[in-house]
């Protein structure tokens, strides 16, 4: 399945290190000063990106699977929409996320990177599965059964990391 382990892929630790490194590199390339928090499991954000008077708190989410599991921990006893609301309350609606996708990315090539604020991610999760909602931000996922059969959930093209996107998000 889409969320199974994949043989000789990176470990989750390696994915985290690689994702943060790619994100820091992209931000620096885009003209930002990048500050990295010291220590493991920092609260809410991993990097601070500064450009002129613009200051972004950035949470980096890397994966080598077909999506980023975001709100599952808040789902028990809640609807998808309610779980998303609790997630966005925890993170703050303006936290900037960089989603780094390593699935089938050959060594030495650039992974796809997407940029969105928490409130944008929340709205996208609520629209997933034909409006039924989801706990996972999907990357090129076609639903084969259930309420969303035949529907495709994927990252919005407008979220792709570009100079314009990071400067305006």
The SS3 of residue 142 is strand
Q: Please identify every stretch of the chain with a pLDDT value under 50, giving residue numbers as ranges.
A: 1-5
User: Tokens in use for 108?
Assistant: 């030495």
| Residue 57, burial from CB neighbour count under 10 angstroms (0-12, 13-18, 19+) | middle
Q: What is the model's pTM?
A: 0.91
Q: What is the pLDDT of residues 99-125, one digit of tens each?
A: 999 999 999 899 999 999 999 999 999
Q: What is the pLDDT of residues 85-106, one digit of tens each?
A: 999 999 988 899 999 999 999 9
Determine if residue 7 is left, alpha or beta; phi over 0 gives left, psi from -120 to 50 gives alpha, anything else beta.
left
């Amino acid at each position: 399945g889409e969320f199974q382990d994949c043989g000789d892929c990176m470990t989750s630790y390696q994915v985290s290190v690689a994702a943060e490194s790619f994100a820091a590199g992209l931000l620096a390339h885009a003209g930002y000063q990048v500050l990295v928090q010291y220590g493991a499991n920092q609260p809410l954000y991993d990097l601070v990106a500064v450009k002129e008077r613009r200051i972004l708190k950035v949470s980096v989410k890397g994966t080598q699977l077909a999506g980023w599991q975001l709100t599952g921990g808040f789902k028990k006893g809640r609807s998808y929409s309610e779980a998303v609301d609790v997630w966005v309350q925890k993170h703050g609606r303006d936290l900037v996320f960089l989603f780094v996708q390593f699935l089938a990315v050959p060594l030495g090539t650039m992974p796809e990177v997407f940029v969105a604020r928490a409130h944008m991610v929340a709205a996208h999760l609520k629209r997933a599965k034909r409006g039924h909602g989801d706990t996972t931000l999907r990357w090129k996922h076609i639903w084969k059964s259930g309420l969303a059969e035949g529907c495709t959930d994927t990252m919005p093209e407008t979220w792709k990391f570009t100079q314009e996107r990071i400067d305006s998000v």
